[in-house]
Amino acid sequence: MHELSITQMMLDLVLEEARKNDAARVQAITLVIGKMSGIVDDCVRFYFDFLSRDTIAKGARLAFKPVPAKARCRECGREFKLEELKWVCPGCGTTCIEIVGGKELYVESIEVE
């Protein structure tokens, strides 16, 4: 159900941008979704079809740009990808890790006519 709220908020944001640009139709939406954001693409697609059915965004193509989870070691400062979400710094072996990437959740662009 997480995706239902997120998709509604995304649609509201897209429609607002479309309105500001006097668009008659939204053809495509590009979303940037971090691996740690907990968003499942297919759920967003499913809800989007339902929520957008009476709007100018009906039928818009959704493109998802994934962002990998990235961490920074609090001990040695090394930045690394959280492959398989292993919570150990590959540099110094500590588990003091800060999540610095992968929580992204934004609308990058829309295509309108």
Partner 1 sequence: MEIKVLKDILSANDQRARENRALLDEHHVFTVNITASPGAGKTSVILETIHRLKDRITFGVVEGDVSSSIDAKMVGKEGVPVVQINTGGTCHLDATMVSNALSNLPLAKIDLLIIENVGNLICPASFALGEDRKVLVASVPEGHDKPHKYPVMFSQADVVILNKMDLLPHTDFDLKAFESAVDGLSNKAQILRVSCKTGEGIEAWIAWLLEQLPAC
Residue numbers at the binding site for partner 1 (CB under 8 A): 1-2, 4-6, 9-10, 12-14, 17, 21, 23, 31, 36-38, 74, 85, 87, 94-99, 103, 105-113
The nearer residue to partner 1, 12 or 79, going by C-beta atoms, is 12
The nearer residue to partner 1, 58 or 106, going by C-beta atoms, is 106
Query: Hey, is 111 helix, strand or coil?
Result: strand
> Whole-number minimum distance, CB 68 to partner 1, in Å?
14
> Whole-number minimum distance, CB 53 to partner 1, in Å?
20
The nearer residue to partner 1, 15 or 49, going by C-beta atoms, is 15
> CA 86 → CA 36, 45, 56, 78, 90, distances in Å?
13, 29, 43, 15, 10
The nearer residue to partner 1, 14 or 56, going by C-beta atoms, is 14
Residues 6+ apart with CB under 8 A from 51: 7, 8, 11
- How wide is the angle at C-alpha 109 spanned by C-alphas 103 and 100, nearest 5°? 20
